[in-house]
């Protein structure tokens, strides 16, 4: 455990972290171990976070060492897409029993690794530590090392048992495992001055593929996306990129910053959400690559592409503007989405009545203020009851959030749209923005709203199907169609 706790400390000391920059040395030493509140806590654990960050590496076998809860209750629940191998969608777990708890589960783990390699022949196995084996003292580092030597292929320990902290800490511990065991262990066949890494992008619903064609057109190669639609060898070779774009700073800042430190790969933080931010990201990629040796004409081509794509996107969005302009949005999400989605919504004339910042960094919050003004309604902690009240009182027309709070909106009979990991639509890049606008329009103008808000005929004698009140309710929902 001593190595784990020093890794945790190391991650907490991350100098690139916006929160850390505002802290004194003493505060920084204390780390970020904010106690979770028993009975009032929500969200995933460190293991959850590690799995989220790494599972999008598609050809790896992800083996969870623990009791059935950790994998059996959770596998097959993420929408990261793959252009090749589907092995990442197979659930592997040691499903430890009482005997393993009493006598240790190292032998079972070793055998499990062998079974996985024999049957599925993956280029690498990632072994995730969970609470119980961490508590009983199973040394997964040693087991992985022995397996690596015996089976002649990478077996990577991911030390992020749930009880060390939050999902976010788990994202970073996963990054540490990549830095320690994967990145820089293989060499690419060829390198070009147009090679970039994209870090902290998971290709949910295929969002990376909304961006990739534009980079292809510019001749820019994604050497590795960490970790969306990635193959093991791409991550292993990613240290040869010329520049990097960090998509989610909360999750992977340690990877991005340490790759700059170790391999001299400069980076910027950008977003693929929203037309303006997308263009800005393309410019930054081009600028960094030119700085590192790419031909200066890249910028000319980039600007031409931006001009073309922006014009296309605005033309596609124009028909929706009338029905969306002025509509009020309650945004309940975190991290990079808290500001990048705000910017996107404002581009089409929607009003953001409030945004949650629970998972946002100081920098994220600053950006929100820049975009929304000093009086921005930022909620650090927005309870479901409060969300329900805001919606029920019609202070917002729609809520955008992750799947777990969707029913708060729906039970208030208000439109809701998923902007989180389980969402079924992809919203990145110019085409994604058009899709997001289309989905917003569909959510807000669906004819059900007029019907579901009506009382049953027997609940009030004055309300019948064609009463003036009902007709009014129906008409507010039937916003002018595109």
Partner 1 sequence: MATVRHSKKACAVNPLKMSQPIGGALAFMGLADTMPILHGSQGCTAFGMVLFVRHFKESIPLQTTAMSEVATVLGGFDNVEQAVMNIYSKSRPAIVGMCSTGLTETKGDDVEGYLKLTRQRHPELEDTALIYVSTPDFKGAFQDGWAATVLRILQVLVEKPAAPREPARVAVLPGCHLTVADIEELREILESFGLDPVFVPDLSGSLDGHVPEDFSPTTIGGTRREAIAALGSAGLVLAVGEQMRTAAEWLGQHIDAPVQLFDRLLGLGATDRLMAFLADHSGRPVPTKYRRQRSQLVDAMLDGHFYTGGCKVAIGAEPDLLQGVGQFLAELGCELAAAVTTTDSPVLEHLPTEEVLIGDLEDLEAGAAGCDLLITHAHGRQMAQRLDIPFLRMGLPIFDRLGAAHRLALGYRGSRDFIFEVANALIAHGHEPHPDDWRTSDAPEAGAAAAVA
Smaller CB separation from partner 1, 137 or 213: 137
* Nearest residue to 185 via CA among 130, 139, 229, 148: 148
Q: Evaluate whether 48 touches 175 at the Cβ level (below 8 Å).
A: no
Sorted by sequence, the CB contacts under 8 Å of residue 284 that are 6+ apart come out as 245, 268, 270
| Number of residues forming the site for partner 1 (CB under 8 A) | 76
- Please tell me the number of Cα atoms within 13 Å of 229 on its side-chain side: 18
Among 15, 22, 91, 326, binds partner 1 (CB under 8 A): 91
Structure token digits, residue 163: 């009880």
Smaller CB separation from partner 1, 112 or 436: 112
Cα angle at 124 between 118 and 127, to 5 degrees? 90
Binding span for partner 1 by CB under 8 A among 20-28, 67-75, 180-188, 249-257: 67-75
- Tell me the closest approach of the beta carbon of residue 12 to partner 1, in angstroms: 14
Among 72, 264, 447, 457, binds partner 1 (CB under 8 A): 72
Structure token digits, residue 164: 């060390």
**Stretch 152-191: interaction string toward partner 1, x if CB under 8 A:** ---------xxxxxxx------------------------
**Stretch 411-430: interaction string toward partner 1, x if CB under 8 A:** xxx--------x--------
Alpha-carbon distance 272 to 270, whole Å? 7
Smaller CB separation from partner 1, 95 or 277: 95
**Stretch 114-143: interaction string toward partner 1, x if CB under 8 A:** xxx--x-----------xx-xxx-------
Binding to partner 1 by residue 104, rule CB under 8 A? no
Binding to partner 1 by residue 274, rule CB under 8 A? no
| Binding residues among 351-380 for partner 1 as defined by CB under 8 A | none
Alpha-carbon separation of residue 77 from 48, 73, 114 (angstroms):
11, 9, 26
Sorted by sequence, the CB contacts under 8 Å of residue 204 that are 6+ apart come out as 78, 79, 80, 81, 228, 421, 423, 426
Binding span for partner 1 by CB under 8 A among 229-237, 277-285, 381-389, 437-445: 381-389
Smaller CB separation from partner 1, 162 or 432: 162
Alpha-carbon distance 221 to 13, whole Å? 32
3-state secondary structure of 221: strand
Binding span for partner 1 by CB under 8 A among 45-53, 175-183, 227-235, 254-262: 45-53
Binding to partner 1 by residue 58, rule CB under 8 A? no
Residue at token pair 């929500």:
42
- Tell me the closest approach of the beta carbon of residue 120 to partner 1, in angstroms: 8
Alpha-carbon distance 352 to 47, whole Å? 33
Binding to partner 1 by residue 7, rule CB under 8 A? no
Binding to partner 1 by residue 97, rule CB under 8 A? yes
Sorted by sequence, the CB contacts under 8 Å of residue 359 that are 6+ apart come out as 168, 250, 334, 335, 338
Among 68, 142, 311, 442, binds partner 1 (CB under 8 A): 68
């Amino acid at each position: 455990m001593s190595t784990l706790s020093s890794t945790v400390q190391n991650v907490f000391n991350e100098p690139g972290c916006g929160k850390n920059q505002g802290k004194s040395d003493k505060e920084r030493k204390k780390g970020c171990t904010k106690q979770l509140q028993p009975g009032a806590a929500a969200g995933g654990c460190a293991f959850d976070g590690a799995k989220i960050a790494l599972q999008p590496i598609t050809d790896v076998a992800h083996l969870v060492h623990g009791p059935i809860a950790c994998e059996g209750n959770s596998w097959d629940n993420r929408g990261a897409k793959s252009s090749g191998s589907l092995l990442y969608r197979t659930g592997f777990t040691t499903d430890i029993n009482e005997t393993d708890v009493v006598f240790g589960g190292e032998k079972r783990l070793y055998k499990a690794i062998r079974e996985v390699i024999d049957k599925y022949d993956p280029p690498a196995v990632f072994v995730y530590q969970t609470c119980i084996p961490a508590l009983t003292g199973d040394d997964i580092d040693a087991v992985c090392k022995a397996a690596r030597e015996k089976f002649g292929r990478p077996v990577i320990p991911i030390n992020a048992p749930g009880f060390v902290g939050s999902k976010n800490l788990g994202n970073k511990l996963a990054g540490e495992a990549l830095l320690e065991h994967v990145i820089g262990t293989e060499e690419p066949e060829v390198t070009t001055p147009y090679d970039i890494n994209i870090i902290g992008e998971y290709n949910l619903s295929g969002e990376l593929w909304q961006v990739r064609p534009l980079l292809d057109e510019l001749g820019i190669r994604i050497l590795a996306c960490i970790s969306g639609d990635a193959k093991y060898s791409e991550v292993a070779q990613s240290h040869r990129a010329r520049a990097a774009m960090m998509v989610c700073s909360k999750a992977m800042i340690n990877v991005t910053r340490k790759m700059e430190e170790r391999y001299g790969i400069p980076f910027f933080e950008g977003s693929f959400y929203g037309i303006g931010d997308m263009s800005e990201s393309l410019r930054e990629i081009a600028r960094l690559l030119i700085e590192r040796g790419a031909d200066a004409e890249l910028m000319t081509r980039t600007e031409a592409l931006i001009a073309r794509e922006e014009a296309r996107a605005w033309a596609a969005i124009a028909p929706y503007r009338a029905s969306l302009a002025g509509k009020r949005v309650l945004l309940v999400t975190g991290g990079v989405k808290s500001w990048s989605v705000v910017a996107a919504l404002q581009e089409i004339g929607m009003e953001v009545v409030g945004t949650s910042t629970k998972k946002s960094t100081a920098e994220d919050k600053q950006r929100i203020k820049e975009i929304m003004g000093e009086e921005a309604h930022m909620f650090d902690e927005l309870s479901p009851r409060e969300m329900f009240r805001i919606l029920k009182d019609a202070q917002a027309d729609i809520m955008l959030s992750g799947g777990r709070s969707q029913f708060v909106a729906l039970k208030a009979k208000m439109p809701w749209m998923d902007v989180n990991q389980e969402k079924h639509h992809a919203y990145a890049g110019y085409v994604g923005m058009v899709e997001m606008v289309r989905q917003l329009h569909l959510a807000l103008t669906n004819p059900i709203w007029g019907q579901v808000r009506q009382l049953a005929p027997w609940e009030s004698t004055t309300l019948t199907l064609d009463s003036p009140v009902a007709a009014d309710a129906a008409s507010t929902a039937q916003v002018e169609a595109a």
